[in-house]
Chain A
Amino acid sequence: MRIKNGEDLSKLRKSIMQKRDKNRRLITVCGGTGCRAYGCEDLIAALKNEVEKSGLKGKVEVKATGCPGFCERGNLVVIYPEGIFYQRVKTEDVPDIIKETIVGKKIVDRLLFVDQVTGQKVTYEKDVPFYKKQTRLLLGNNGIVDPTDIEDYIVIGGYSALAKALSTMKPEKVIEEVKKAGLRGRGGAGFPAGLKWEITRKAKGTQKYVVCNADEGDPGAFMDRSLLEGNPHSILEGLTIGAYAIGASNGFVYVRNEYPLAVQNVTLAVEQARERGLLGEKILGTDFSFDVEIVRGAGAFVCGEETALMASIEGARGVPKQRPPFPSDRGIWGKPTNINNVETWANVPIIIEKGADWYSKIGTKGSKGTKIFALVGKINNTGLVEVPMGTTISETVYGIGGGIPNGKQLKAIQIGGPSGGCIPKTFIDVPIDYDELKKLGGMMGSGGMVVMDEDTCMVDVAKYFLEFLLEESCGKCTTCRDGIERMLEIVTRITDGNGTMKDLDTLSELAEVVRDASMCGLGQTSPNPVLSTLRHFRDEYVAHIKDKKCPGRVCKALITYSIEKDKCTSCGACKKRCPQGAISGEKGKPYKIDPSKCIRCNVCYETCKFGAIKKE
């Protein structure tokens, strides 16, 4: 079973290819976490059952793959070799798919994707605008590979980059290649990966470690989760190449336990790689030995910070330490350690395989390659989007994301999770890369991209992130623990309508000190939601304070509900649903809301079909 060398690997690849019938029909179903919520496991079982019932066993294969990214439209089914794309598939559709498409070679019209812009139906996966406008270097394989089967990864060229690195490149050459490719860390700060590797390689000591940081905790972000769930071998391959370049003999994948499927798939991948001799002693017949241990995180956001992560791996409380010493110098158990996140490691095999010159052509001057964003919020096509660095926000939101639902206007984009900032729509044509975002007071972060429409209150957004960070701060240093609490205190005062203009000065003064004086990345970036909204949306803060109005109509203390007389048909629907009995009226006359009873729960607003409820 062990693969002895590079040649052996290509032989294995050829034999797997021969074993597989090219003309065989293949039905792939997204088996990612999002689609599991849609019930994809039942769907897969139903498909398998139907195939058997129709006597097609052996001729048609049903495969659960990783998440291809179009989560809005799950369950996603693709039928090969044609590449027919069905979306929002339910178990009830299974007989039709088998009967019509597989046997009858006809398209099931109702399952096709309708382009929001042109209104036309799209038959093939490659023509779906959501996919077409992306550059799917990393995510592309998620929809093809069965993450639980190493052969699936090997057959698409997997582990050939490792074979190439081990047999033809010296460690220094690997580092040189990664440096030349211009790969920057995808975890947030964007430190050049090759440089980090070089520092760790040159650090004193014989025992060194590499770590894959899969403790993705940003609200709304799931890029690393999907990579780890959908194509775990690509990350292991990258990690192994990195370990070879750095001179590490042990590695860790630190994955949060809230990602059970990722834990399961990566654990299985490690076992399979070990069986094949792609991990363990004398990998691919060379003198290089390396093994990986899976460490599960216990749900602390701060453990995504590298020093806290290392403490957690050591078994200590997940609390950061002041750097220096940097992990590259003194990391896990005091040994030099190189930490990169999932997406960074997944880029490594591509760089080695295709070369730095090829890779560095993608992206902008300072930021190379692609970046995966979790496009969420008020957006038509929720999902994972992989674009070259330098793609504009508008292309991502409108071109790929399909715009804002219900004809609403875009207000801001929140990039980079709690550490990132809110970028107003005036900067929509700014290319997304590390340096441009920094200039705007944002941050690439790990890649959450939350789209906000006109019904969003930016003060409330700042409050939300502060609440999140207050929970997730480790509580070690004064500025972060008490500073965030006090920022929240002020912001809450403002959203309650009790703020003063002096509060704004205190808030920005405090935010700057928290940014300056906190110990770790979490604390230093925690005021970003406040600072960026203060910078770009100061008028909203002022409106809360001076006019006692919430422009986004979100802050309950500052909005009132009333019924517009001429629009009210006195149907009584609102009265029926009002939990407080605040609405009164009789047939033929417009209804009224008693403001003293109203708890601003928004139920009447959502209930009224005539738009007669006025919120201001």
Chain B
Amino acid sequence: MIKLRIDGLDVQAEEGWTILETCKFYGIDVPTLCYDEGLTPYGGCRLCVVEIGEGPGAKLASSCTYPAMEGLVVRTHSRRVVKARKMVIELMLARCSSSKTIQDLASKYDVHEVRFKLKHEDCILCGLCVRVCEQQMMAGAIGFVNRGKDVKITTPFDIKSDVCRTCGACMYICPACSARCQGPQEESAICGGCLNMTPSCLEYYDDAQCFMSETSCGTCVREGPKKKESSEKKV
């Protein structure tokens, strides 16, 4: 067993575990987007970053790829980690503003401002679909093309792939585009940020807290927000 310390707790990890797996075992909450138990870790979304080490030598690294090692000191919610995580969420929101998953994360991590131009993309390039296609479906029908700002996930030459069996695994596993925020829907709402806010966000903040569009969708105001006694959101 490997002995290490996570958030001040002395914990033990099995040989071959990553820091994220150790955290999960002990019930320590670390958010992830590009991670799936059945696939090889990727380390692309940067949500699961944790602070490793102490003092000036401490660094941030993705916990999903970092092997648990003897004597490591890990902090999953240090100030530096939270600052980075919030920025990552803000960057993702700016990219895929209508993704329910990302809006939920924003709600959870108290991100209530996007200081960048909204882009309305569908894909956060987490690569889960690429890995599930290759590693679980043994197809390898899709992959990354280009690099930098032009990188995208597609079939070779953007034409229908011969090896694709239209199994739908890529759609099933997608964390960003499968659940799109449809506005305030009480029944299926995960975050319900727009509904839980009293008074409505536009009275609270300078900008709309709903990232579906550059202007407020206004649904929450029109239909009347569900009143809640104690709002957790404070400026």
Q: B118-129 vs A: 1/0 string, CB under 8 Å?
A: 000000110100
User: Which A residues lie within 8 Å of B62 (CB)?
Assistant: 322, 519
Contact B149 A485 (CB under 8 A): yes
Q: A477-B44, A477-B45, A513-B84 are in contact. Are A472 and B66 (CB under 8 A)?
A: no
Contact B60 A516 (CB under 8 A): yes
Say yes or no: is B147 at the interface (Cβ < 8 Å to chain A).
Answer: yes
Contact B43 A513 (CB under 8 A): no
User: Which B residues lie within 8 Å of A517 (CB)?
Assistant: 46, 49, 60, 84, 87-88
Bound Cα distance A473, B44 (Å): 13
Say yes or no: is A300 at the interface (Cβ < 8 Å to chain B).
Answer: yes
Say yes or no: is A317 at the interface (Cβ < 8 Å to chain B).
Answer: yes
User: Which B residues lie within 8 Å of A512 (CB)?
Assistant: 83
Say yes or no: is A518 at the interface (Cβ < 8 Å to chain B).
Answer: yes
- Contact among B47, B59, B91, B151 for A475, CB-based, below 8 A: B151
Task: Find the residue from A302, A477, A482, A512 having the highest chain B CB count within 10 A.
Answer: A482
- Contact among A317, A324, A475 for B148, CB-based, below 8 A: A475
Say yes or no: is A509 at the interface (Cβ < 8 Å to chain B).
Answer: yes
User: Which A residues lie within 8 Å of B47 (CB)?
Assistant: 478
User: Which B residues lie within 8 Å of A510 (CB)?
Assistant: 87
User: Which A residues lie within 8 Å of B143 (CB)?
Assistant: 317
Contact B147 A477 (CB under 8 A): no
Say yes or no: is A321 at the interface (Cβ < 8 Å to chain B).
Answer: yes
Query: Which residue of B is nearest A517, CB measured?
Result: B84
Q: B143-155 vs A: 1/0 string, CB under 8 Å?
A: 1101111110000
Say yes or no: is B234 at the interface (Cβ < 8 Å to chain A).
Answer: no
Distance from A236 Cβ to chain B, minimum over Cβ atoms (Å): 31
Contact A322 B43 (CB under 8 A): yes
Bound Cα distance A319, B115 (Å): 29
Distance from B34 Cβ to chain A, minimum over Cβ atoms (Å): 9
User: Which B residues lie within 8 Å of A481 (CB)?
Assistant: 125, 148-149, 151
Contact A471 B43 (CB under 8 A): no
User: Which A residues lie within 8 Å of B150 (CB)?
Assistant: 475
Say yes or no: is A476 at the interface (Cβ < 8 Å to chain B).
Answer: yes
Say yes or no: is B5 at the interface (Cβ < 8 Å to chain A).
Answer: no
Contact B148 A471 (CB under 8 A): yes
Distance from A316 Cβ to chain B, minimum over Cβ atoms (Å): 10
Contact B83 A513 (CB under 8 A): yes
Contact B43 A321 (CB under 8 A): yes
User: Which A residues lie within 8 Å of B116 (CB)?
Assistant: 486, 489
Say yes or no: is A325 at the interface (Cβ < 8 Å to chain B).
Answer: yes
Bound Cα distance A325, B67 (Å): 8
Q: A321-B43, A322-B66 are in contact. Are A513 and B147 (CB under 8 A)?
A: no
User: Which A residues lie within 8 Å of B228 (CB)?
Assistant: none
Say yes or no: is A448 at the interface (Cβ < 8 Å to chain B).
Answer: no
Contact B84 A519 (CB under 8 A): no
Distance from A503 Cβ to chain B, minimum over Cβ atoms (Å): 8
User: Which A residues lie within 8 Å of B23 (CB)?
Assistant: none
Say yes or no: is A474 at the interface (Cβ < 8 Å to chain B).
Answer: yes
Contact B46 A519 (CB under 8 A): yes
Interface residues in A442-487 (C-beta closer than 8 Å to B): 469-479, 481-483, 485-486
Query: Which residue of A is nearest B127, CB measured?
Result: A476
User: Which B residues lie within 8 Å of A506 (CB)?
Assistant: 115
Bound Cα distance A161, B46 (Å): 46
Q: B12-55 vs A: 1/0 string, CB under 8 Å?
A: 00000000000000000000000000000011111101000000
Bound Cα distance A300, B69 (Å): 33
Say yes or no: is B92 at the interface (Cβ < 8 Å to chain A).
Answer: yes
Say yes or no: is B80 at the interface (Cβ < 8 Å to chain A).
Answer: yes
Q: A479-B46, A516-B84, A519-B46 are in contact. Are A302 and B95 (CB under 8 A)?
A: no
Query: Which residue of B is nearest A482, CB measured?
Result: B91
Q: B130-148 vs A: 1/0 string, CB under 8 Å?
A: 0000000000000110111
Bound Cα distance A510, B87 (Å): 7
Query: Which residue of A is nearest B124, CB measured?
Result: A478
Residues of B participating in the A interface, judged by any CB pair closer than 8 Å? 42-47, 49, 59-62, 65-67, 69, 80, 83-84, 87-88, 91-92, 94-95, 115-117, 124-125, 127, 143-144, 146-151
Given A472-B147, A472-B148, A513-B83: 10 more A-B contacts, CB < 8 Å: A322-B66, A475-B146, A476-B151, A477-B45, A477-B46, A478-B47, A485-B149, A486-B94, A506-B115, A516-B80
9 residue pairs bridging A and B, Cβ less than 8 Å apart = A302-B147, A325-B67, A476-B42, A476-B127, A478-B47, A479-B46, A482-B92, A486-B116, A518-B46
